Structure 1
């Protein structure tokens, strides 16, 4: 796929995202409304989309364990690289390290990857296995470190705090929707067409609403490019450049993943830092300003680089 064709594919993404920025800057729609739009997308529309598509998918083709294992290996290597670099910079608090690992390795699936994949490929199905791996493995590791690092800050013991955090993570609507779709699919449970049509109708709104919410948020907070620190630039470069390259090398060269799955995995790795990085930073009171900046700036850099990644790996 050439650069022009890739850019054409991104037009709907840029339109929804740019409309949010413009309307927030002109104060036509208050930037504070981004939370309501984001909540609708994350808590309702995206779960509906994921549930309906997983339920009707061929799970054997969807969960290509060779490809997913290759991506997991690339992510594990990326975690080690960021942890080592953080330690070399003198960071000793495990929560600081965990936050930077999340910023450099986890990807924005619900708000960014899902709408982009729907635009590029007509489906976001390849994201589902990576989403589950990210939530059920990577996020749980980060949560565990964050919770155990809060020793003495709560009357509850470390085990109790960790248990509550794990349950809360696994009980998010996105994860529940994925797991429900998998279970009902495996059990061959028949669902009425009206239920699936309803999930499809709501799910179709997930992409534009999620991107519009992200644009509203950016339009409201603004963008301080000159104030970008060296650490921010390094983490953004790792997330948007180094991690996709690492995924391409590990998945393609080391594990021999080819064809569409290699394209999917590299593009997933090229997605920006997830918005819940900021949520975690606020919850655990660590790197709040850094997290907000990384989410916004990595989203813009990712938008600019996606056509190049698509042309490189799919061309």
Structure 2
């Protein structure tokens, strides 16, 4: 895949994202409405898309356990690397370390990877296993550290335990995760879902990609992007997320686990996606690193957009 072909495939992504940013900058559409568009995509359109596609997928091919284990190993190594770097920079608060791990290792799946994969490959199925791994493992770890690792970590065990269970339950009960699990369960049980229902899910799901990218553009256009105020730590975390982590995925998945072909391409591209939007939500909830988190979400998204054509070519060659 040449540079021109790669750029052509990204035109719809840039159009939806850029249009949102332009309209917000010109105040033709309120940047505050990005929350409504994002909620529609995350709570409704993306779950519809995920359910329909997982239900109709070959789960044996979708859940390539060697590829998933390879990606999980890469993520574990990346967690250790980010934690070590945070320690070297003098970050001692466990919540601060957890926030940086989330920024450097987790990827924006529902709002970025799913629409990009739909646009590039016509199918976001390879994102599903990584999405479930993130929610059921990585996010669970971050929630645990946030709840138990802060100044209030010495509070009574029972209330803290109940709060942790509620937070974990809320993560597992998000529409995206429920849609994935429902699709897997009905697929395994061979439960018949009427074609009219699947067509309806498909109709709504097709809007997930452009709406999610438009919402991200509105958010960027409204909040602005200050390059001049970027700190060294932000540069390091964005560089790790958008460059180092995908290189680690290529090395560990390809060289160590022997993953090749399409799955190696998919894993490298998934790893190259930006930091997740819920990084900012976690920072707000626990009142730590709010400004840094907002900057990392926006700047890693912009960096990922510029780097995607290069990663697409890289993925073709390494695959």
- TM-score between the two structures when normalised by the length of structure 1: 0.98
Aligned residue number for residue 78 of structure 2: 78
Aligned residue number for residue 53 of structure 1: 53
Distance 2:246 2:217 in 1: 24
Distance 1:203 1:30 in 2: 24
Aligned residue number for residue 4 of structure 1: 4
Are the aligned partners of 1:244 and 1:269 in contact in 2 as well (CA < 8 Å)?
yes
- TM-score between the two structures when normalised by the length of structure 2: 0.97
Aligned pair partner of 1:260 in 259, 262, 286: 262
Aligned residue number for residue 226 of structure 1: 228
Aligned pair partner of 1:217 in 207, 216, 219: 219
For residues 258-308 of structure 1, the C-alpha deviation after alignment (integer angstroms, 9 at most, x for no partner) is 000000000000000000000000001110000000000000000000110
More off after superposition, 143-152 vs 180-189: 143-152
Aligned residue number for residue 144 of structure 1: 144
Aligned residue number for residue 243 of structure 1: 245
Distance 1:157 1:95 in 2: 19
2:26 is the counterpart of 1:42: no
Distance 1:159 1:70 in 2: 32
Distance 1:257 1:91 in 2: 35
Q: Post-superposition, which runs of at least 4 consecutive aligned residues in structure 1 deviate over 4 A?
A: 153-156
Q: SS state of the match for residue 302, structure 1?
A: helix
Aligned-residue offset at 1:86: 0.7
Distance 1:261 1:296 in 2: 28
Aligned-residue offset at 1:152: 3.4
Structure 2 unaligned segments of length 5 or more: list them: none
Distance 1:150 1:99 in 2: 12
Are the aligned partners of 1:105 and 1:239 in contact in 2 as well (CA < 8 Å)?
yes
For residues 2-61 of structure 1, the C-alpha deviation after alignment (integer angstroms, 9 at most, x for no partner) is 111111000000000000011001111000000000000000000000000000000000
Distance 1:171 1:88 in 2: 36
Distance 1:185 1:100 in 2: 37
Aligned residue number for residue 23 of structure 1: 23
Aligned residue number for residue 191 of structure 1: 193
Distance 2:144 2:171 in 1: 11
Number of residues of Structure 1 aligned to a counterpart in Structure 2: 315
Aligned pair partner of 1:299 in 292, 301, 304: 301
Structure 1 unaligned segments of length 5 or more: list them: none
Are the aligned partners of 1:6 and 1:310 in contact in 2 as well (CA < 8 Å)?
yes
Are the aligned partners of 1:151 and 1:158 in contact in 2 as well (CA < 8 Å)?
no
Are the aligned partners of 2:49 and 2:201 in contact in 1 as well (CA < 8 Å)?
yes
Q: CA RMSD in A?
A: 1.1
2:81 is the counterpart of 1:87: no
Are the aligned partners of 2:43 and 2:175 in contact in 1 as well (CA < 8 Å)?
yes
Are the aligned partners of 1:55 and 1:185 in contact in 2 as well (CA < 8 Å)?
yes
Aligned pair partner of 2:165 in 163, 166, 171: 163
Aligned-residue offset at 1:125: 0.3
Distance 1:145 1:164 in 2: 14
Q: SS state of the match for residue 12, structure 1?
A: helix
Distance 2:232 2:15 in 1: 31
For residues 101-136 of structure 1, the C-alpha deviation after alignment (integer angstroms, 9 at most, x for no partner) is 000000000000001001111100000000000100
Distance 1:37 1:150 in 2: 33
Distance 1:122 1:19 in 2: 22
Aligned-residue offset at 1:149: 2.4
Distance 1:118 1:62 in 2: 15
Aligned-residue offset at 1:150: 4.3
Q: SS state of the match for residue 188, structure 1?
A: coil
For residues 50-107 of structure 1, the C-alpha deviation after alignment (integer angstroms, 9 at most, x for no partner) is 0000000000000000011100000000000001111111111100000000000000
Q: SS state of the match for residue 136, structure 2?
A: helix
